[in-house]
Structure 1
Amino acid sequence: MRHPLPAAALAGAALLALAACSGSGSGDDAADGELALVTSGTLTVCTNPPYEPFEYEEDGEIVGLDIALTAEIAADLGVELRPLNTGFDAIESGAALNARQCDIAASAITITDAREENVDFTDAYFDADQGVLVAAGSAVAGEDDLAGLKVGVQQATTGASWVEEQGLEGVQFEDLGLQIQALRNGQVDVVVNDVTVLESYVDDELEVAFVVETGEQYGFAVRTGNTALLEAANATLARITQDDTYDTLVAQYFGTGAATD
């Protein structure tokens, strides 16, 4: 399920108002709304591949829709982009941002109230739901069929929370790649994660059994109080929506001719 950038991304960011870039080396936020980056001249992005098409490795580099979108933010700021492979638990908890490992986190992060206690989110840029991936020909067809099964989840994700809320037996893995491997080798019976990324694993052996409509939305995260970077990121999201860059990038990374189904 794919949707264009939510209309909320346009609110409050109609004009591109970029803060001045100055590197502090220590990554401390500058005063008076001035933008200070962890590394001068570089926008460092915490991300957690594999999570195709949002972030994944290709020819030794991290690429994907999240990387392309944050590259637009970096370009508007006049700086280079540096993706940094980071554990998702450190991303969603805000630990990586607070430790000044990166300036912004971009890893298909669902905006939640709990996470907003630890980070500031940009406007939403993607809509998502959960999916259940199974071996082809599995009898699993709905939520009731998950009872008694071992459900592979990615730690610290909304999918893991959903499985716990249903009272199911969740088996945690550090990343999506390990989840898929566990399903293929029979360590778990099914895998729960965002349906958009599970679709890339569908083949003769694996299929999406069903979708759980959770109505989630992704946002980029910055350190709490880093208003200069937050405003710059929102301005870029507004700009790329208005000039069709967003639709072009979605079509590119989803391998489709359009940004929506």
Structure 2
Amino acid sequence: MSPDLAFILTLGFRMAVTAAFVVTASVITERSGPVIGALIATLPISAGPSYVFLALDHNAAFIAEGALASLPVNAVTIFLALTYVLLAQRRSALVSCACAVMVWAALVALARTVHWSLAGGLLANAVAYAICLPLLQRFRHVKMPLIARRWYDIPLRASLVATLVATVVTLSRWVGPYVSGTIALFPVVFTSMMLILHPRIGGRPTAAVLANSGWGLMGLGIAIAVLHVAALQLGSAIALSLALATCVSWNLGLWWNGRRKLGR
């Protein structure tokens, strides 16, 4: 088998596995309401597989540098969520999503002009969430209507995430860890929710899912920092496992805290 054919077959397998994982998680999100849905959506269900596949092709130093690049991008993502939430109260899905993605792209381009350290990336996340979480608070509590799935939902979600994985894996061979880490954090789960849920159930219920995502994204930022630190010290496999455990533990803690408040 030629190297090119082997690469194409491997890439196709990676795209299929990741797409199946993301579609399953997003279907669960739709059926769980905005709070549980946000906790599931902020798990690394698109970035995680992208990093796993990067780790198969590159060494631990590459993964560490990619994670460092991903850290400020995670801070930018909360501004994408805020932009969409504010616009979705009155605007269409296309306008709200397009403006949110443009804000994300502009802030990522601005972030690329800075040489980030771990402390700087963590500080950027702290400032971003200190600004956005209070602004998102009043949009969090909306009743989620019943969802009637359409024929194109699963193909659309699968194609979005598969395209992301293909882009990250292919470009990483030429563009290096910084760009790979940036692309890996593209909010494919959020954008797929915007495009699929908004036309069916309305902007406000869809916005409620993203408004509840702030604390979960904070945990994702901590997990990215763990990945950066642990990759060089312990290797990519252990670092990825620790980062995943951090995300899952953080979101379980958020869920438990929410249940405790309801119990009171």
TM-score, normalised to structure 2, is: 0.25
Higher-Rg structure is: 1
Bigger relative CO (Cα 8 Å, ≥ 6 apart) = 2
Give the strand-richer structure, 1 or 2: 1
> TM-score by structure 1 length?
0.25
